[in-house]
Each structure stands twice: as structure tokens, then as C-alpha cells.
Amino acid sequence: MSESKPQVSRRDFLKKMASGSAVAATATAAPGMAISAARPKRYAMVIDTRRCIGCQACSVACKTENDVPLGETRSWVEYIEKGEFPNVRRSFLPRLCNQCEKPQCVAVCPTGATYKRQEDGIVVVDSDVCIGCKYCIQACPYGMRYINPKTGTADKCDFCLHRVQNGIVPSCVNTCQGRARIFGDLNDPDSEVSKLIATNATTVLRPEMGTEPMVYYIDADHADQRDAAKQGIYIRIETNRRQKERV
Amino acid sequence: MHELTWGLPVILYLFLGGMGAGAGAVSGSIFLRSGGGDLAGSSFRFARWGAMLAPVLVIIGTGMIVFELGSFQAGNYFRFINLFLTINLSPMSIGSWVLALFILVSLAYAYTFINRNAHPGDELQKLRKMLAWAMVPLGVGVALYTGILLGAMPARPFWNSPILAMLFLVSALSTGVAGILLVRALFGRKQVISKESFEHHSYILGSSDMLLIGLEILVIFLFVMYAHLTIGNVEAAVSVIMGGELTTLFWLGFVVLGLLLPAAIEMKYVMPTLLYQKEYSIPRTMEIVICALVLVGGFMLRYIVVIAGQVTGPTGI
């Protein structure tokens, strides 16, 4: 569990930048450490699927915390069933917005309503600007976005920005029974996420899309119905949301 | 169960917007090619049909996407104004500006033709010429952007190819020509000045349409060939028209009904004139049938592409 860190406000950051301490900090950082001078924080999540028991506590916590409308989900757990008795496997794949380094949704937004925050890299939607054209919904390779029926604007997971800004972890991380979801700052080499990524083989979802996700998985089953069909393996994937198929 | 994020309103917009943009570009080009319409005759009336069609079709189409906006459905009727408070590199942002400009210019252009007595060399001629010059690039721009808009997303492998915008452009021009031909065949015969020049212009339009359909067949051939040769995500996506659930609709509804059939009929009438300078004559019903087929094909194309892009996606997770 990552410890809550005092928040750096934008003003503090600018002051630091002005005094050159950020540059100095970058210069003195260990070589090879990917530390971004452009962003004071780079929030990321590591999902250790070995610890996930598929209890859906994160899905429920998320819906409660963010008042997600009925039929929609910001974060959920997929159940992946494979094989035929006796050679079977059931695994769980927690899902949420990947807060990509190169977000497709941001690239296509015509109004600038969705953007990647300069201070921490979280991709957010400004529901006062969004017109609900659904372009971002089409552009997201992960199917993470939905139209909020109340506001008519695009909506998605934002790492619980309102919590993170106040130094506490996202709701799903807070509630996870098995500690499968770990949240933290990749710019801090001592954070739990940095250590986990350094010491584990991690994968991201759909890497060929070039989005550079900030959500890393340990031991995730990347099985897909279509891939399995080619190999003649029985596979069933439950996504627990309205759109029942991964597209 | 797949969800269709973009449904019939968007499909109709792509179709009507493309057709209107095509009609506008074709109208401007016809008008300018006859020396700015200074030569009296039916090329002026040709341009007139196109000028009348363009804004009407594009405005109807644009209205459809405004109704489809989530913000509009949630009661923020004027939220779409946000599109015009900013400009960025999103195809939709640039496209909205081009579309808005096209609507304004095409309305002004149509206004110069609105008077029944409008003729080459009247007091609006100078303005008409200027606007016609703007209509061609704007029409091409609107038609192109509809394809770029869909093609800009790696997450949609079916759409994500540079050929899609080309396909939409050629299809828009061909449906634009077909639209002009159709209204002319339906309402234009009454004002025939000379039968000869009327037939001559029918020939010009018919042969242009044939050329455009030929180009469209080529572009579709490239698209299908590429689909056949590719692997991975794109292969999984295009399989929807190569044996998947939209195969019949694509091959019969679009390729045969919307391309090959009108091209074959048009060739039958155009070729004698093209090759042996025979007199061109086509029965009015045939003209109407061809145009209807081209328009159905244009709609089918948008329908299949928009649906196919959304029911397929990248594979592997």
C-alpha cells in the first residue's frame, strides 16, 4: 500500500521549477530511472492479478465513490474461463482506465474537454466543456469510456482524482481485499509501484496500440475470445458491464 | 452484444454530408469550367441544381449529428458551440470548422442562384464566381474529412487506413453527381432550351459519374485486396466483410448494387459516344435508375463502414 504523500500544488511546483531544483533533482536521479521533469508526479497503478480473487469489491467501491450510473462501470473485474475439464483455468482481470501516456481519447477530442493533466498525468474529462460527440468512446482501444446519461458527457475512471488530490489512494485501491491494486507515483523510485515494476515482469493491455498505459499488470492473462478460437480452446470472458463483448 | 456508439444519425450525416459536399464541389467546378458560366446554356442550370442541393443536404446531415450529441440529448442544446471556441488537431475540430464554413459559403452560393431569372452575367455573377472558387476546395474538404475522422483511430482497425478518406471522397463526388442528375432528370426536362445541349450535358455528367464509379471500384479493390493480404488486428476487423456478418450486405448491397450495376448500365450508354462519337441518348427512366442505384450504394457504403468499424476492434487484451 502506498503511503499518502503531501501534495505538491501547482504553485509550489512552479516555484521549484523557477529555482531550478526540479532540474537539479532530475540531474541527480539514478541513471536509468525514468523520471519526467515535465511532470512532478506520474501516477500509475500496478495490478497483481495473482492476488485478485474476483470479489468485485473494487467495482462496487468505484460505483459508490463516483456515483456511476446504473448499467455503467468505470472499473470492473473480468472473469476469464479457459479450457475443458480437467485442464481448466479461471483468472481475474481487474480493469480501469489506463491513463495512457499517449491517450487516443485526448488526440481526437474536438473541444479539449478531455486532457492529460500536466501535474500528474491523469486523464480527465471536463464535463462542462464536453459536448458528448462520442469520438473518444470510439477512439479508446480499451472501451473505458461511456456517456453519463445524467450529464450527456463522456465519463470514465480518473484514478479518483478528488481523493488523490487530497493525498489518499483511489477508492478501488483502498478497498481491495487482496491488495491486488497498488497505486503510486512512478517519479518516486521508492514508491511501491516503482519497486513492483522494477522487480516484476509486467505487461500492459494492448501494447500494440502504442498508448503507453500507466496501468501495469503482473501475471495477467491476455486471452481473447478470438485468439482462443484459433487455438480451439473454449474460453468465456465475463465483463460485468453493459457492453458484454470486448471490442 | 455489441454497442453501437454511432448509429443511424451519424451514418445519414456521413451520407448526406458527403453527397451535399460532392454536389457543391461538382456544381462549382461545372460553373467555372464553362468560363465562369458566361456561356449561356444548361451548364449554368447544372450548377444551379448543385448549388441548391448542397446546403440543403449538408444542413440536414449536420442537424442529425447535433441531435445525436450526448449533451443535446441531456438538454444542453447549445453545447455544440464549444466546437467553435477552440481549434485543435482533432479531425472533428478541423472538420467542424470546414463544415461550418462550407454551410455558410454554400448558402451564399445558393443565394446567387435563387432567383428564377438568374443568368450568366447578371449583377450577382462576380460574387457567384468567387463563391464557386471557394465551393470546390470546401466541398472536397468536407467529403475528405468524413473519412479522415473515422480513419484517425488505431482502436478501430477497420477504419484505420488512409484509403478510407479517399473512398469517401470519391463516393461523395459520385453521389453528388448522381444527386444533380437525379433532380435534373426529375424536374429539369421542362426547361430544355435545346435538346442537343441537354443531351450533351447528360453525357458529360453520365460519363463523369462513370469515371467516378470506376475510381471507386479501384479504391474498393485496393481496400479489399489489402484486407485479404493483411494479418493481425486489421485482418480480424475486415473479416466482417470477408465472410463475417456484413459480407452479403457489402458484396451484394454495395459492390454489386451500388457500383457494378450502375457502372455497367452507364457504360452501355456512354461507351458508344465515348468510342465512336455516336449521339448520346439515354431514357429518362434509366437515368433515374442509375442515380437511385448510386445513391443507394453511397448510403450502403457509409452504413457498412460505420457498423463494421464498431463491431470489430483490436484483438488481444
Q: Which tens digits make up the pLDDT trace of A72-131?
A: 999 999 999 999 899 999 999 999 999 999 999 999 999 999 999 999 999 999 999 999
User: What crossing angle do the helices spanning B8-33 and B91-114 adopt, rounded to 10°?
Assistant: 50
For residue A238, what is the enclosing H or E element? strand A235-238
Look at the alpha carbons of B231, B232, B234, B236 in this order and tell me if their dihedral is positive or negative: positive
User: Does residue A34 register a pLDDT over 80?
Assistant: no
Residue B3 resides in a domain: no
CA A242 from chain center: how many Å? 20
The answer to pTM > 0.85 is yes
Q: Domain residues for B163?
A: 8-312
Number of A/B CB contacts below 8 angstroms equals 132
> Cα separation of B307 and B305, whole Å?
6
**Distances from the Cα of A184 to the Cαs of A187, B51, B252, B287, B296, in angstroms?**
9, 60, 55, 68, 55
Task: Give the 3-state secondary structure of chain B.
Answer: CCCCCCCHHHHHHHHHHHHHHHHHHHHHHHHHHCCCCCCCCHHHHHHHHHHHHHHHHHHHHHHHHHHHCHHHHCCCCCHHHHHHCCCCCCHHHHHHHHHHHHHHHHHHHHHHHHCCCCCCCCCCHHHHHHHHHHHHHHHHHHHHHHHHHHHCCCCCCCCCCCHHHHHHHHHHHHHHHHHHHHHHHHHHHHHCCCHHHHHHHHHHHHHHHHHHHHHHHHHHHHHHHHHHHCCHHHHHHHCCCCCCCCHHHHHHHHHHHHHHHHHHHHHHHHHHHHHHCCCCCCCHHHHHHHHHHHHHHHHHHHHHHHHHHHHCCCCCC
Give me the CATH number covering residue B115: 1.20.1630.10
User: What crossing angle do the helices spanning B163-187 and B125-151 adopt, rounded to 10°?
Assistant: 140
The answer to which of A8-22, A191-205, B163-177, B195-209 has the lowest mean pLDDT is: A8-22
Q: Which residue has the cell 521533469?
A: A37
Mean pLDDT score of chain A: 87
pLDDT reported for residue A50:
96
Mean pLDDT score of chain B: 92
Q: Do A209 and B154 touch (CB under 8 A)?
A: yes
Q: Do B69 and A108 touch (CB under 8 A)?
A: no
pLDDT reported for residue A228:
73
CA B68 from chain center: how many Å? 21
Q: Is B76 on the interface with A (CB under 8 A)?
A: yes
More confident residue, B317 or A50: A50
The one-letter code for the residue type at B179 is G
Q: Which of A108, A128, A134, A136 to mutate to test the interface with B (most CBs of B within 10 A)?
A: A108
List, edge to edge, every strand of the sheet that includes A181-185.
A181-185, A43-48, A215-218, A202-203
pLDDT reported for residue B223:
95
> Cα separation of B34 and B314, whole Å?
49
- Non-local (6+) Cβ contacts of B238 within 8 A are B157, B158, B227, B230, B312
User: Does residue A2 register a pLDDT over 60?
Assistant: no
Q: Which of B86, B231, B317 to mutate to test the interface with A (most CBs of A within 10 A)?
A: B317
Phi-psi region of B41 (alpha: psi -120 to 50; beta: other; left: phi over 0): left
Query: In the numeric block, which cell numbers belong to residue A99?
Result: 491513463
Residue B269 resides in a domain: yes
Taking residues A215-221, what's their average pLDDT?
Answer: 96
Residue B185 resides in a domain: yes
Q: Which of A131, A227, A244 to mutate to test the interface with B (most CBs of B within 10 A)?
A: A131
pLDDT reported for residue B191:
67
Residue B53: burial class (beta carbons within 10 Å; 0-12, 13-18, 19+)? buried
Domain count, chain B: 1
Residue B2 resides in a domain: no
- Non-local (6+) Cβ contacts of B73 within 8 A are A132, A152, B67
Q: Is B93 on the interface with A (CB under 8 A)?
A: yes
| Residues of chain B contacting residue A140, judged by C-beta atoms under 8 Å apart | 155
pLDDT reported for residue B65:
95
Name the pLDDT band for A244 (thresholds 50, 70, 90): confident
Residue B1 resides in a domain: no
pLDDT reported for residue A32:
42
More confident residue, A36 or B102: B102
Report the first-to-last Cα separation within chain B, whole angstroms. Answer: 18
Taking residues A225-237, what's their average pLDDT?
Answer: 81
Q: Do A152 and B71 touch (CB under 8 A)?
A: yes
For residues A138 and B307, the answer to whether their CB atoms sit within 8 Å is: no
pLDDT reported for residue A6:
47
Q: For the residues of A58-126, what is the DSSP string, one character each? A: HHHHHHHHHTPPTT--SSEEEEEEEEETTEEEEEEEEE-----SS-HHHHH-SSS-EEE-TTT--EEE-
For residue A235, what is the enclosing H or E element? strand A235-238
User: Does residue A12 register a pLDDT over 60?
Assistant: no
**Which residues of chain B fall below pLDDT 50?**
none
| Residues of chain B contacting residue A208, judged by C-beta atoms under 8 Å apart | 232-233, 314, 316
pLDDT reported for residue A11:
54
For residues B202 and B47, the answer to whether their CB atoms sit within 8 Å is: no
